[in-house]
């Protein structure tokens, strides 16, 4: 009897180990698929701050992830860039304007997308931006370099902006049920991101016509 009990116990332990190894194998498999999916959704070139020559921020405020809003901008100035060299110059010019002239902690946007089809890290994920008052601490601000009031950004610039948003969703930085707005929808007195670009993003998933609130500045910016 004792021998039979030991035998049953051993078989039971072997079965449990086999079950554990099988579960482990499938967990690794599905985890791998998840990583693969995230890699595919983030299939674009992201230029780091170091690569475009950013100065350090004077202060950093953390933001809780995932955020419920994505807000699209255009830079207006600097103008559109088609080469990486020119897009880097545009990034440096914007940081000078925001950090030196405006006295902000850093470039205002979380990310910027150039006409070269590359995304450029501004403040990045999980950091409060300075692009949309009352929304800065609960949104990702993405600006497309150029003036898009009349013309539409080139297809590679639009495609990268969309991939960037989806990457944020897949990596847990943006809520799956996020709302998408153009800057002029959430701030009175601006044409940003330009009517042509606003018309374009109105066809994207998650675009919302009605923001929860609109910020009204004391002085309408020029």
Q: What average pLDDT does range 136-151 have in this prediction?
A: 98
How high is the pLDDT of residue 206?
98
Tokens linked to 116: 């070269």
Tokens linked to 81: 């860039």
With 0.85 as the threshold, say if the pTM is over it: no
Cα torsion angle, 201, 130, 133, 179, sign: positive
Q: Say how far apart CA 58 and CA 44 lie, in whole Å.
A: 29
Domain hosting 121: range is 46-201
- Whether residue 97 is found in the same domain as residue 132: yes
Report pLDDT digits (tens) over 163-206: 999 999 999 999 999 999 999 999 999 999 999 999 999 999 99
Tokens linked to 157: 């610039």
Number of domains composing the chain? 2
Residue 127 DSSP code: B
Q: Say how far apart CA 182 and CA 203 lie, in whole Å.
A: 12
Report pLDDT digits (tens) over 34-70: 333 344 558 999 999 999 999 999 999 999 999 999 9
- Residue ranges with strand state E in 101-196: 111-113, 119-121, 139-144, 174-182
Q: Say how far apart CA 41 and CA 43 lie, in whole Å.
A: 5
Q: What average pLDDT does range 9-31 have in this prediction?
A: 45
- Whether residue 68 is found in the same domain as residue 82: yes
Domain membership of residue 175 (yes or no) is yes
Domain membership of residue 97 (yes or no) is yes
């Amino acid at each position: 009897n004792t021998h039979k009990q030991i035998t049953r116990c051993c078989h039971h332990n072997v079965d449990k180990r086999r079950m554990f190894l099988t579960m482990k194998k499938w967990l690794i498999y599905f985890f791998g698929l998840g990583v693969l999916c995230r890699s595919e959704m983030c299939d674009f070139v992201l230029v780091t701050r170091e690569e475009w020559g950013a100065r350090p921020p004077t202060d950093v405020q953390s933001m809780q992830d995932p955020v419920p809003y994505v807000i699209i901008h255009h830079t207006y100035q600097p103008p559109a860039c088609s080469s990486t060299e020119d897009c880097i110059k545009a990034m440096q010019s914007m940081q000078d304007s925001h950090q030196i002239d405006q006295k902000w902690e850093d470039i205002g946007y979380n990310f910027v997308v150039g006409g070269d089809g590359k995304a450029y890290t501004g403040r990045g994920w999980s950091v409060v931006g300075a692009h949309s008052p009352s929304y800065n601490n609960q949104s990702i601000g993405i600006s497309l370099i150029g003036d898009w009031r009349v013309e539409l950004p080139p297809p590679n610039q639009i495609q990268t902006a969309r991939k960037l948003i989806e990457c944020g969703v897949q990596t847990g930085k943006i809520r799956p049920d996020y709302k998408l707005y153009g800057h002029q929808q959430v701030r009175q007195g601006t044409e940003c991101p330009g009517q042509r670009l606003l018309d374009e993003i109105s066809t994207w998933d998650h675009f919302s016509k009605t923001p929860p609130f609109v910020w009204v500045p004391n002085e309408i910016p020029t």
